[in-house]
Amino acid sequence: MKKTWAVMGTAVAVSAMIFTGCGSSNTTTGTDTTQESENTDTAATDTPAAEDSKGGDFSGLISPISREEGSGTRGAFIELFGIETKDTDGNKIDNTTDTAEITNSTSVMMTTVAGNEYAIGYVSLGSLDDSVKALKIDGAEASVDTVKDGSYKISRPFNIVTKDGLSEVAADFVKYIMSKDGQKVVEDNGYISQGNEGAYEAAGLSGKVTVAGSSSVTPVMEKLAESYKKLNADVEIEVQQNDSTTGVTSAIDGICDIGMASRELKDTETSQGVTATPIALDGIAVIVNKQNPVDELTSDQVMSIFTGETQDWADVQ
């Protein structure tokens, strides 16, 4: 009995400590925000001048943040900004600076950029929120509309991976994804549709379809499965979330009917009899801290930041 009290007492004491800890950190963030707004105020008045005259008030070492090697987002990012180059033998070389911080999750990327005034990173357009600021690239804002009309060029395909001899139900589901109705679901979720093969009519099939793969594609795939099931009550669709590589391997091995990948397939994968079909386009937003007065960068500037040539914010204003 006595021991229980002691344990409970400790728990209370510890949680009290945690809460006071939170409280004090809150107050500090509070003062930070006031400072922040002052900064942004001055920054806002400064920006027009800074845009014309090179080098404004804002300066400091840039800390670029990148994703891990092999990530679909990183692959698309380095390709689109020309950070990836080819050597004389035609091998691709990733020139991302060695000092770039690496993270393997979108949420850590967002938290880091939100907490570091000098950070710059990139995330999928679908995961963007108010805690960070998305930059205009070459004058184009990052949004679904600008990706669609082609003015914002930083985007990558979401692929589904299928093998020959697809079951009738699975083929019907693929047909639905590529139809007008399926692509509308894609659009409604903040991604950009890829192709449109007319209206879809339920064929009255029954059976089970297993879909597995990339965690980036999973959210939209779940929505697609949901709306497909409304039309085909007898079909069961199971969506398993893991990663692009597992998705492709499972499609090859026949563990799942349809694999999901947020990257292009490798030659070693396509040689094993699978084909990729893009079902959606996802924009990649370049993000900075909200206190950062920079609103716009050219793609050359982004490249030189991520290859380590430009190291100070004063050089890109």
Q: Given candidates 85, 102, 208, 309, which one binds other proteins under the rule CB under 8 A?
A: 102
Minimum gap (Å) between residue 17 Cβ and other proteins:
10
* Member of 23, 55, 115, 139 binding other proteins (CB under 8 A): 115
8 Å CB contact between 96 and 78:
yes
Least Å from the CB of residue 34 to other proteins = 16
30 lines the binding site for other proteins (CB under 8 A): no
Using the rule CB under 8 A, give the single segment among 114-122, 229-237, 278-286, 293-301 that binds other proteins.
114-122
Q: Which two tokens stand for residue 214?
A: 């990339």
Alpha-carbon gap, residue 21 to 295, rounded angstroms: 34
Among 46, 51, 79, 94, interactor with other proteins by CB under 8 A: 94
Match 């691709």 to its residue by tokens: 92
225: DSSP letter: H
Residues 272-311 that bind other proteins (CB under 8 A): none
- Minimum CB distance to other proteins smaller for 22 or for 44: 22
User: Beta-carbon neighbour count of residue 39 at 10 Å?
Assistant: 19
Contacts of other proteins in 50-89 (CB under 8 A): 61, 63, 65, 68-72
- If residue 264 lies in a helix (H) or strand (E), which one and from where to where? none
Q: Check residue 199 for interaction with other proteins (CB under 8 A).
A: no
| Position among 1, 3, 164, 271 found at the interface with other proteins (CB under 8 A) | 3
- Residues 219-258, one symbol each (x = binds other proteins by CB under 8 A, - = not), give -----------------------xxxxx------------
Among 54, 92, 180, 184, binds other proteins (CB under 8 A): 92
Closest distance to other proteins from the beta carbon of 218 (Å) = 13
Do the strands 235-242 and 84-86 form a parallel or antiparallel pair, or are they unpaired? Answer: unpaired
Using rule CB under 8 A, residue 93 touches other proteins = yes
Please state, in angstroms and rounded to a whole number, the distance separating the CA atoms of residues 12 and 23: 16
16 makes contact with other proteins (CB under 8 A): no
> Cα–Cα distance between 76 and 68 in angstroms, integer?
12
Give 197-205 contacts, CB < 8 A, sequence gap 24+.
Answer: 200/175, 200/176, 200/231, 202/231, 202/232, 203/172, 203/232, 204/232, 204/234, 205/168, 205/169, 205/172, 205/232, 205/234, 205/235
Min dist CB 116 to other proteins, Å, is 6
Query: Rounded distance, CA 225 to CA 231, Å?
Result: 10
Residue 130, classified by CB atoms within 10 Å of its CB into exposed (0-12), middle (13-18) or buried (19+), is exposed
Which parts of this chain interact with other proteins (CB under 8 A)?
A: 2-3, 6-7, 9-11, 13-14, 21, 25, 61, 63, 65, 68-72, 91-94, 98-104, 108, 111-112, 115-116, 118-119, 242-246, 263, 266, 268-269
